[in-house]
Amino acid sequence: MASIELATLLAGDGHSIVLMPSDASARQCRDRIAHLRGSHDQAFIETVTVMPVDQWLAESWDATFPAKQVLRPIQLLALAREIIEESEFFPKDCLNSMAITRQFVDAFQLHAQYQLSSDEDYYRFSAEYQAFYHWQRSMQAKLDSLLALSGHQLPAHLSELLNTSGIDLPDQLVLSEGLELSPAAQAFIRHCADKTSLMTLLDEQLDDTPPRFSSVAQIGQECEAVAAWLRAKFEISTSLQKPLQDSLFAILVPDMNRYQAPLNNVLQRQFYPDSLFPSADTEVREPWIFEGSETLLSYPLIKSAWDLISLSGRALPLEQLSRILRSRFVRGWPEARSIRASLDIRWRDYLSPETSLRNAISLARKFEEEEPGVSDFLHDLETMLKSMPARQLPSSWVRFFDQLLLTASWPNASDDDVVVEQCRRGFSQAMDVFRALDRQLGEINHDTALSWLQHILSTKRFSVAREWPCPVRVMTYDDALGLKFDGVWIMGMDDNALPRRVEPSPFLPLELQQRANYANSDPGLCLQRDQLVLRGLLNSSQEVHVSHCRENEVGTPLGPCTLLSEYIDDDIWLGANQYVARGNVAMPAADSVRAVNPEQRAAVRGGTGLFKEYASSPFFAFLKYRLNLREFPVAAEGLDHRIQGILIHDTMQYVWEELQTKIALDACSDLQLEALVRASCERALENPELSVARFGESLLSIEKERVVTLVCAWMDRNERPRIEDFDVLSTEQLVESELMGIPLRIRMDRVDKIGDKRLVIDYKTGTIDGRSLSVDNLTEPQLPIYVLAQKEGVGKLDGVMLAQLKSPDDLKIHMRSNWASSVVAKKPHSNDVDSPEKWQAELEAWSTALQDMAVGILAGNIEHDFSQNHRRGFNTFLLPLLRDLSIEEDAQ
């Protein structure tokens, strides 16, 4: 085969096609042609066409107006999966057939590429070979019935057409030097040589200079050496005033997954620190790009779309629902992002790791009262999901997915955004690929549609085009073959990188693979291939640096590549951070907490909880309600105290909503009362916070029996024996009030009417202490606040009562009022508050104490009493900051 240089090829007549190994090498060759011709020869640019081999084969086939369609790899997978799952050779205990299907399709393509024999005698010696033989015959029959073929079958079919209908061949067919072709492609090109001129394009000759080799201890030091080399190269380019877009440097790695993260971190710190300190005024334009390392599903915009289209009426991961709620790519962002973040916290507190969209929406009702639009798009999505068909064609699923995305207003961004526009285009192309599977898949359910679409999105290589020059390219060894650079650094050149291990196809007879010279079937052939790979990498630039680290991330020793026989010891490239952070900290003259401004008082939140927290510790009240800090969660076995309290409160509410009066209670037998309590408890268990998915059916069943027993005991021992008849006026009544400008939202557990008196009752599932209502130790200020808020008018209260529902053996009552010290018979005590005079004095004392608390809250008081035992979720972390070091030193 004759050889020709590129300049000579450009000077010749006729049409020439230059075949390259990849799109990247074809683009680089076209750039060389444009540079050689210059602006004076633009009229003849079409006389030479440069393209990859696969593209030329596909275009040649399409130009013949063929009767058979070339299927995409994903379409072959769909056909093969159906054949395999219906075959007698498919293992019945296989959990996922896709892995087997992929390996079979790879073997099917290899069979066509290397023109392997189909003689059944070769396939009798193992179950895998026999399975492939039958699957291959079924696959080929299916393709013939559909008038289709695979991409690797093209060379054989083109060879058949070459002598019959004719193929439009160029005047000269030029192969790039070192181009690796499969046997099928080689056979077709040999047939083409009879009808056109076949040549080899001579590669650009470089000086035969050995590479410079260096060895470092670990991968981090290897990355630092690369960054130092790049910095030196760019400093030279700057001094020579050479535009960066005219340079091209390559960093070649054996495994992108292993090297991308550490290399990117080092490049940011030592080579281009501007990316660490983005500014609103200037756009960060990193001069490097990781080629072939990203898929479409790796982009946040596409991940957001995937979360939306994978919604269903079944249980979903809570993390997925949280991502949808907080996504910037759905309707309502950024206006509602703050309240949605609060809703997300509520979800994480109350929902199980897997929950339904319906349960998540039900927990949003409290937030919808304050912000109606917080979850409106979730309601719209739930409505759409109710109309989701059980089965339909892939093209119909695409239309349904489009409607879901439109309902959520995805991507909720300007069309002028370059990244958004490119990601949307890539997503649309992926949907087109999925839409093309109608004939192969037929009608499928939602789960099957998602599995195929996920395969498409996770395997489709995609990267956003940069609007600025990227002279540094990071790529794998194989992707760099056929390219030329101004400088190359080959990383990871250890004995694990090259030579690579042999991985023959398990479905094809090893004898046939080795006879066809398939490189992955024999150590000798694999060694020859990797020697050619290394030679191609070393010839990709005049300046080549090679490095390896002596141990991997887990400390396993690594030796240098044994194929690298000749090299020069390289200098040690030392890296250093390109920025130094300095700052001056101005200490304030006073470290006191600012008071709450009068105009800000209406924004103070917390209500009665704020006063209760302040009574316990002004510092903790400041943390929770002014700094908006939350306590660290405390692990609990089973249901925690808060959840148990919710169940008790809701059960009591539903019981008294049904009974209403003591007369109705007395009329109930023990069995009737138990039935009512049980029904009320079951109704309370419908609360989304008490979902079976979160706590389990067994635990909730045990808790239900405990609550039924507890409430029945309370009713028998503390409600039936009450001295006076009563009517329950309200349960869980919400009242809005204020104290010194602080807004209060009060929810009273229960208000009883006893004659002409009104008594407010507060249920406690913990231990109650009557002293907690005393002025000198007012740690339960809720009841005093209830009374003072209802001091005047129709709702005026005449007494308060703490009701302890801890266990059937631990039921207590503490009451203060203007007419009695208890609702059940008890021995009188001198300290009882049971008369109008004592009650009025109590109200005045409570009013003074609460006024003092309000003054302290508004003034910014953050005192803390260390003599008390504060068993709180954040005291372990925050209390050491409050210690008076001088006192501790004196104590020592």
In angstroms, the Cα distances linking 536 to 30, 215, 452, 495 are 20, 22, 37, 18
- Residues 491-517 have a mean pLDDT of 94
Peptide bond into 499 cis (omega under 30): yes
The pLDDT, as a whole number, for residue 255 is 93
Nearest CA-CA partner of 251 in 60, 85, 485: 485
Residue in this structure with the two tokens 């190269």, named with its chain if needed = 233
pLDDT tens column, 710-728: 999 999 999 999 999 999 9
pLDDT higher than 70, residue 180: yes
pLDDT tens column, 536-580: 999 999 999 999 999 988 889 999 999 998 899 988 888 777 777
- H helices of 689-756, in order, are 692-695, 697-714
- Portion of the chain with pLDDT greater than 90, in percent: 59
- Dihedral over alpha carbons 149, 155, 158, 163 (to 10 degrees): -140
The pLDDT, as a whole number, for residue 873 is 58
Q: Is the CB of residue 475 less than 8 Å from the CB of residue 252?
A: yes
The pLDDT, as a whole number, for residue 880 is 52
Report the alpha-carbon distance of residue 860 to residue 250 in Å, rounded: 60
pTM score, whole prediction: 0.73
Residue 844 has a CB neighbour count (10 Å cut-off) of 11
Nearest CA-CA partner of 225 in 570, 580, 579, 476: 570
pLDDT higher than 70, residue 8: yes
pLDDT higher than 50, residue 776: yes
The pLDDT, as a whole number, for residue 865 is 79
Burial classification of residue 678, based on how many CB atoms lie within 10 Å of its CB (0-12 exposed, 13-18 middle, 19 or more buried): middle
Q: What is the mean pLDDT of the chain?
A: 88
The pLDDT, as a whole number, for residue 301 is 94
3-state secondary structure of 557: strand
In angstroms, the Cα distances linking 133 to 22, 75, 637 are 32, 20, 57
The pLDDT, as a whole number, for residue 44 is 45
pLDDT higher than 60, residue 890: no
pLDDT higher than 70, residue 107: yes
Q: Which residues contact 8 (CB under 8 A, 6 or more apart)?
A: none
Higher pLDDT, 891 or 157: 157
Q: Is the CB of residue 546 less than 8 Å from the CB of residue 212?
A: yes
